[in-house]
Structure 1
Amino acid sequence: MSVLRAAQPAVALKVSTRTKLAHPFLLLAGILLVALNMRACLAAVSPMVAEIQRTFGLSAAASGLITTVPVLFQGVGAPLTPRLTRRFGTERVVLGAVLTLGAGVLLRVLPSAVALYAGCVVIGVAIAVLNVSMPGLVKREFPGRAAAMTGVYSTTMLVGATLAAGLSVPLERALGGGWQASLGSWSVLALVAGLAWLPQLLRARQLPRTAAAGAAAAGAAAATAGPAGPESPAIEGLWRSPLAWRISLFMGISSLLVYTLVAWLPTILADHGMDRGKAGLVFAFSNLVQVSGAFLVPLVAGRMTRQRALAVSMALLNGVGIAWLLLAPVSGAWIAAGVLGVAQGGSLGLALAFIVLRTGSAAGAAQLGGMSQAVGYLVAAVGPVGGGALHQLTGGWGLTLSLMLVLAGVAAVAGWGAGRDRTL
């Protein structure tokens, strides 16, 4: 059975397995550059959907798959990541994932619909590996500041998404190569992140094998140890734990709301008469506001023994933003974008914070991260394609937004349970 115990404040949590890789500044720079890539290539697509749709003659549902496929494969790839990190070490896995992400970005812009979706698959798997690897890495290297550092790297993810959303259309015009040149240019960011991560890989190779084995014995190897480290004990009964399922459901529904609007918000606004460039700016503004929520909410969560009110507040703000978008999609676009930005950034940061706050080790964080992100992204994958299909069926966005409003209420219930003062 899963064993629950009273949670300790995050600032008091100590895990004595820090490996002290490269210089802390290089480590932080590497983490932030990797995080910049983790949403940029998804957000960059949204202002380009109409152009891609015309290029390949896609239906609205098929266009939704451009966002759905990466999200779906985030769910499929997440459970495999702890095995990869046990076998190859977190440092190698992160480097391989970020370079694979760059390759997927390039594959996606080849002149073929098959290549488009194949690139989406590669991108989804790469992001899945990074999604699961990073919480364990942060918990290992910053054991006393795990919640704060979670806020820092989740904020950086959204900064990348903001830049991508705001620059997609200008890059299309500046590079003169259409949507392909605009989307393909983000592979450069992945290459830069790979180069910045090299010092961590080189330092990891220099660590004594006995240190890796010691870290494994202490319980962090499931997320971090190299080939020499034995497998650490699993959290018993994780997939039968109600707490783990509540965290997974909160992450899943919150992500579904995010990715549905990542796929369709500019299109929703454009369909109601807004200029495509302006719609892209509204979308970029929403991503920019998400930064504040993603940074502040995990910091607040780490100082609380229970986060129930915080989780419910984020779900309610999601509902308010969706309702505003439903009632006044053009005149209220900027207000809706601001409210949704706070809610979605805060929900993302809180969902990631739950992973470190509800576990007592890097190994536990990796396992819970694998489960919650597998379930969460499989749920989230329904959003973009489902929203597109409902739009195609009804000819409008009212039903899609109404169902999202209902799901915000379900997220509130799940968040109330996930915010209990317990750890796995």
Structure 2
Amino acid sequence: MSSRTQQQHSIYSEEEQLPQQTSKNMGILLAGIIIIAATMRSPITATGPVIEWIRLDTGIGHTMAGLLTSLPLIAFAAVSPFAPRLAKRFGLETSLLLAVIIVTAGITMRSLPSVVALYAGTAILGCGIALSNVLLPSLIKRDFPLRVGIVTGLYSVSMNIFASISSGISVPVATASSLGWRASLGMWAILSIGAILLWLKQAGEGRKRMLYVTSQSETAPTRLLTSSLAWFVTLFMGIQSFIFYTTITWLPGILANQGFSSASAGWMLSLMQMISVPATFIVPILAGRTRDQRLLTTITSMCLITGYALLFTTAPALVTIGVALAGIGAGASFALVTMFFVLRTNHAREAANLSGMAQSFGYLLAAGGPMLFGLLHDWTQGWTLPLLIQISLAVALLITGIQAGKDRTIS
């Protein structure tokens, strides 16, 4: 029996032991996945375009401003290992409801007129997003075993569309509101409250459908820490996260240094994320239909390498092309690593554990990125060295992606 056939067989074995949901309930579940995905980047990407406003209003330096993006990543690293245990104890749906409640609390707190509340709220919302990051791929593997690529694509599209909207409207909202940048950050509580209302029903259903069931496929635990494949997936996760979060933090500053206005730089960041949307939808479908994803990882990495190289130019047209290519690479790399959690494992519990490991170590690697780039900018008074680091990391992403993309599973 082939590895892919064995994987599908284990999925069916697990699924047969769970109470089956109706088509209506599955539609509500899919809507819940999409709205939770919408809350997973928008509160973070809202920060980049107004980070200079925050810095000038609060008196913090570039390094401390970078911490506003690093804090959620530190929270991702700290909380991710505990997400599978939380789901095992309370159920997957209830854990996801808790996740969006925590996000809402964090968004509300960081909108208060206090620098301490700004940083504390940012860390808290990062804890909630961390739970969603780990558990959503596992839920998709459990409830949509034959549509993993399509559902992962929809989840990724929702995340990136709202991340793009968040970047694009931050400056206009800050300009129009008497609350300034606090309005730009605080308005995303509306979206997370909507997610809470939708997931209240799912939490009730989750008490009947627990993620972790006893099945033959799960009797032998996988030793992730000794699996080279698990570490390649983890490195891929960390590198793509480092590249993405440093970009959404400092791309507006890089473009402003080249003569773009604050509003134009914000919209360029929005363009980067919006243009990634087709990649985040198409790549999971292609990855799910192929046994080997090495070609996809090569194309993805080349988009990133070329895109960041073009940011060295001063011609607006070439810079725009560079931003677009970086957006395609960022969207495709995130979609690929999300699919690796599913394709490189044999059942939902294993997917949750790999996701937890990859996101814990991966985000720990990425957490220093925004602060490091702020420090390098203060030191060099320019963006040349940070951009060279981005290109080097894209090459490293290619190397790890070739290994993670091979047709095999961690067991």
TM (normalized to structure 1)?
0.91
What one-letter code is carried by the residue in structure 2 that aligns with 1:216? V
Aligned to 2:386: 400
Which has the higher mean CA deviation after the structures are superposed, 5-14 or 148-157?
5-14
In 2 relative to 1, CA 219–63 (structure 1 residues): closer, same or farther, beyond 3 Å? farther
Question: 97, 107, 110: which is aligned to 2:109?
Answer: 107
Q: Secondary structure at the match of 2:311?
A: helix
Alpha-carbon shift at residue 196 of structure 1 (Å): 1.0
Query: Is 2:132 aligned against 1:146?
Result: no
Deviation at 1:19, TM superposition (A): 4.2
Which of 116, 119, 125 lines up with 2:118 in the alignment?
116
One of 184, 187, 193 as aligned partner of 2:186: 184
The one-character-per-residue Cα deviations of 1:202-236 (angstroms, maximum 9, x if unpaired) are 2234x2xxx659x611279xxxxxxxxxxx65642
Indicate yes or no: 2:79 matched with 1:82.
Answer: no
Equivalent residue number for residue 331 of structure 2: 345
Whether the aligned pair in 1 keeps the contact of 2:272 and 2:327 (CA below 8 Å) is yes
- Of 386, 399, 405 in structure 1, the residue corresponding to residue 372 of structure 2 is 386
State how 1:336-375 maps to structure 2 within 5 Å: 336-375=322-361
Q: 1:6 offset after TM fit, Å? A: 3.5
- SS in structure 1 of the partner of residue 270 of structure 2: helix
8 Å contact kept, 1:27–1:200: yes
Contact 1:9 1:302 in 2 (8 A): no
Q: What is the CA distance between 1:14 and its match in structure 2?
A: 3.5
Partner of 2:158: 156
Q: What is the deviation of 1:183? A: 1.0
Which deviates more, 108-117 or 382-391? 108-117
Asked whether the equivalents of residues 90 and 133 of structure 1 are also in contact (C-alpha less than 8 Å), the reply is: yes
Give the C-alpha shift of residue 8 in structure 1: 4.4
In the superposition, relative to structure 1, how do residues 64 and 383 fare at CA in structure 2: closer, same or farther (>3 Å)?
A: same
Q: How many residues align?
A: 404
Corresponding residue for residue 69 of structure 1: 71
Structure-to-structure mapping, 1:219-234, within 5 angstroms: 233=219
Per-residue deviation, 1:329: 6.9
Structure 1 pair 234–281 and aligned structure 2 pair: CA distance change class (3 A): farther
Residues 107 and 186 of structure 2 are in contact (CA less than 8 Å); yes or no, is this contact kept in structure 1?
yes
Give the letter for the 1:180 counterpart. Answer: R
- Residues 406 and 286 of structure 1: CA distance in aligned 2, closer, same or farther (over 3 Å): same
Give the secondary-structure state (helix, strand or coil) at the position aligned to 1:422.
coil
The aligned amino acid for 1:64 is G
CA distance in 1, matches of 2:374, 2:356: 28
Structure 2: distance between partners of 1:219 and 1:34: 31
What is the CA deviation profile of residues 330-364 of structure 1, one whole-angstrom value per residue up to 9, with x for unaligned ones? 44232111111111000000000000000010001
Per the TM alignment, residue 304 of structure 1 is displaced from its structure 2 partner at its CA by 0.8
- The gaps in structure 1 that reach 5 residues or longer are 221-231
Q: Does the residue aligned with 1:327 lie in a helix, a strand or coil? A: coil
CA distance in 2, matches of 1:325, 1:57: 29
Q: How does 1:246-257 map to 2 (within 5 A)?
A: 246-257=232-243
Q: Contact conserved, 2:7 with 2:346, CA < 8 A, in 1?
A: no
Following superposition, the deviation at residue 147 of structure 1 comes to: 2.4
Q: Label 1:391 to 1:331 Cα distance change in 2 as closer, same or farther (>3 A).
A: farther
* 2:253 aligned with 1:267: yes
Aligned CA distance change for structure 1 residues 52 and 28 (closer, same or farther; 3 Å) = same
Correspondence for 2:205: 203
Secondary structure of the corresponding residue to residue 216 of structure 1: coil
Alpha-carbon shift at residue 287 of structure 1 (Å): 0.6
Change (3 A) 1:13 1:308: farther
Contact kept? 1:33, 1:193, Cα under 8 Å = yes
Q: Give RMSD over aligned pairs.
A: 1.9
Where in structure 1 do 4 or more consecutive aligned residues deviate above 6 Å?
Answer: 9-13
Gaps of 5+ in 2: none
The alignment's TM-score, normalised by the length of structure 2, stands at: 0.94
Give me the identity figure in percent: 38
Residue aligning to 2:404: 418
- In the TM superposition, residue 169 of structure 1 has moved relative to its aligned partner by 1.5
The CA distance in 1 between the partners of 2:346 and 2:61, in whole Å, is 47
Q: Is the 8 A contact 1:102 1:190 kept in 2?
A: yes
Structure 2 match to 1:41: 43
What letter corresponds to residue 402 of structure 1 in structure 2? L
* Cα distance between partner residues in 1 of 2:37 and 2:363: 18
Deviation at 1:375, TM superposition (A): 1.3
Instruction: State how far apart, in whole Å, the 1-side matches of 2:323 and 2:10 are.
Output: 36
| AA at the equivalent of 2:257 | D
Q: Give how far 1:148 is off.
A: 2.2
Note closer, same or farther for the CA distance 1:233–1:387 as it changes in structure 2 (3 Å cut): farther
Q: Take 1:401 and 1:219, find their aligned partners in 2: how far apart are those partners?
A: 49
Query: What is the rounded CA distance, in whole Å, between the counterparts of 2:111 and 2:177 in structure 1?
Result: 14
Q: Which residue of 2 is the match for residue 217 of structure 1?
A: 214
